[in-house]
Structure 1
Amino acid sequence: MTGALLRSLELFWALSKREVASRFKGSYGGLSWYVIQNLLLLTLYSFVFGTLFKSRWSSGDHIQGNFTIALFIGLIVFNTFAECITRAPTLILANANYVKKVVFPLEVLPAVTLATALFNAVIAFLVLIVVAFILKAPLHWEGLWIPVIMAPLVLFTLGAAWFLAALGTYIRDINQMVTLLISAFMFLSPLFYQITALPKAVQTWVMFNPLTIPMQESRGALMFGETPDFGLLSIYLGVAILAAVSGYSFFQKARGGFADVL
């Protein structure tokens, strides 16, 4: 799997840059819309939750953080996952011309989609840092661990994207099912609420959501200066590697019939 992706690295970068640039191609703002969208979104949440509701996000008994910052961190994690997963079932259908080319590495397409989502996440984090400074919301250097915290989610998402891209080529209903599933992932993750507010039995199930650990650990590191739980992240990484390998294997086995169903 790794060898195949490394051989396609140059193509991957070329397609990723084209995908990022084409997102707002022809618009006056161009790539600046990545910043504008995240800035407007964060401003809206800051006004609603920070000014109107004066909400706070707690850690421990006495530490409180800005609810807007906590919510936006969760949204960055969620959007990275959701953007890639929702597009995955139609990736091959939308790029049918590549299927006819025997030498084209189709497995690169889900990786390009993920790269685009990660680019937007980086921009969003930069906007978050600037706005946190303006709002005087303290951020901590432990936030530098966020790439490590996000790594298992990235691998898990890539594996799921490979699986859904292959399955969605054969079963067109997968696209509608994934749309509903993403909504479930959103509300069954600690995006709008703290997991400690849930009953103990429910907390256990919410922890199985692939978004929960990245949200919790990213907030803890950036907002409260907490060291990530590397034991928990190691377990998640093991699951994510298994998901990535399984998703890639399924994609490679299924790709042989893509041309027949398109």
Structure 2
Amino acid sequence: MSSHSARAQPELHDPHKALPASPLEMCLSPWRHRGLVSQMVRREVVGRYKGSMIGLAWSFLNPLLMLAIYTFVFSVVFKARWGVNANEGRVDFAVVLFVGLIVHGLFAECVNRAPTLIVQNTNYVKKVVFPLDILPVVAMGSALFHAIISTLVLLVAIIATGNQLHWEFLLWPVLMLPTALLALGFSWFLSSLGVFIRDVGQITLIFTTALLFLSPVFFPVSSMPEKYQALMNINPLTQAIEQMRGAIIFGRQPQWSGYLVSLGGAALAAWAGFWWFQRTRKGFADVL
């Protein structure tokens, strides 16, 4: 009887146990739990629009609405121009602007959600054996879904407006990888920090809003005075946006040397965030 009762008990784990935090473990953990990650991403995407009248259509309408607002403000009110061609119109401006919004949107969605990922899932911390480190990966999966939808909208817009579609468009997954890794590193770090410091969520909202206007989303880096261009290039999103825009809109080959440096830095940031998460997660159970 005692043996049967012991087997019937829910499986518990030691929340204070130190867990591996190597770069290899960072890569293997999402792969090891890929089925769970896929299921949770699907549930999160569908759950976000559950109960709404048009459902997943909001994933198309939200970026289009924001794009329309930004395009009106910057191309009509401020009369900003990209210099795409001599007869550049508002649609051309919108297409170029959209590339920057997609890159920033992926990063901002992950960072803004990160501080509450663990706090909102306290049942995973104490009661069951659950790989907490995949929660930021799930958030990344959801953000990537919306980025892909926005990119499909961009593709349709390029074709519909008669602009040339360059083969470099196919490099989108490669060029988005540094941003995804950087966002994942921030997510691991901030999701842990948000357990101990609840004000982090307010700070990230300010940070990502400032980053929107301090990144080359609404303007090219070349339009800034030279003394500020070096500061702009410190922004981790600058190269990602410029490389993506150059490849998709202008058909330019990425600067692979700069890309590899950016990719290496993003991978290091991802591992640093994962290391911090694994080393601090043993304190989650005491706080929550």
What TM-score, normalized to structure 2? 0.84
Partner residue in 2 for 1:90: 116
Q: 1:187 and 1:49 mapped to 2: Cα distance?
A: 12
CA gap of 1:46–1:198, structure 2 versus 1, over 3 A, is: closer
Deviation string for 1:115-155 (max 9, x for gaps)? 11110010001111212222233332211112111101111
Correspondence for 1:32 among 54, 57, 75 = 57
Deviation string for 1:67-116 (max 9, x for gaps)? 11111111111111001101101111111111113520001111111111
SS at match of 1:77: helix
- CA deviation after TM superposition for structure 1 residue 2, in Å: 1.5
Partner residue in 2 for 1:104: 130
SS at match of 2:156: helix
Structure possessing the higher radius of gyration over alpha carbons: 2
SS at match of 2:249: helix
The AA in structure 1 aligned to 2:176 is M
Partner residue in 2 for 1:128: 154
Q: Is the contact between residue 145 and residue 228 of structure 1 (CA under 8 Å) also seen in structure 2?
A: no
Mapping of residues 101-250 of structure 1, within 5 Å:
101-250=127-276
- CA deviation after TM superposition for structure 1 residue 44, in Å: 4.6
Q: 2:240 and 2:142 mapped to 1: Cα distance?
A: 19
Q: Is the contact between residue 74 and residue 218 of structure 2 (CA under 8 Å) also seen in structure 1?
A: no
What TM-score, normalized to structure 1? 0.92
Q: Is the contact between residue 38 and residue 127 of structure 1 (CA under 8 Å) also seen in structure 2?
A: no
Q: Is the contact between residue 49 and residue 67 of structure 1 (CA under 8 Å) also seen in structure 2?
A: no
Partner residue in 1 for 2:21: none
Which is worse superposed, 40-49 or 181-190?
40-49
Which is worse superposed, 44-53 or 160-169?
44-53
CA gap of 1:203–1:50, structure 2 versus 1, over 3 A, is: closer
Deviation string for 1:157-197 (max 9, x for gaps)? 10110000001111112111111111221121111111111
- CA deviation after TM superposition for structure 1 residue 56, in Å: 3.4
Q: 1:168 and 1:220 mapped to 2: Cα distance?
A: 36
Partner residue in 1 for 2:32: 7
Q: Over the residues paired in the alignment, what is the CA RMSD in angstroms?
A: 2.1
Mapping of residues 26-65 of structure 1, within 5 Å:
26-45=51-70, 55-58=80-83
- CA deviation after TM superposition for structure 1 residue 12, in Å: 0.6
Which is worse superposed, 39-48 or 11-20?
39-48
Q: Is the contact between residue 221 and residue 229 of structure 2 (CA under 8 Å) also seen in structure 1?
A: yes
Aligned-residue identity in percent: 46
**Structure 2 unmatched ranges of 5 or more:** 1-25
**Structure 1 unmatched ranges of 5 or more:** none
- Length, aligned pairs only: 261
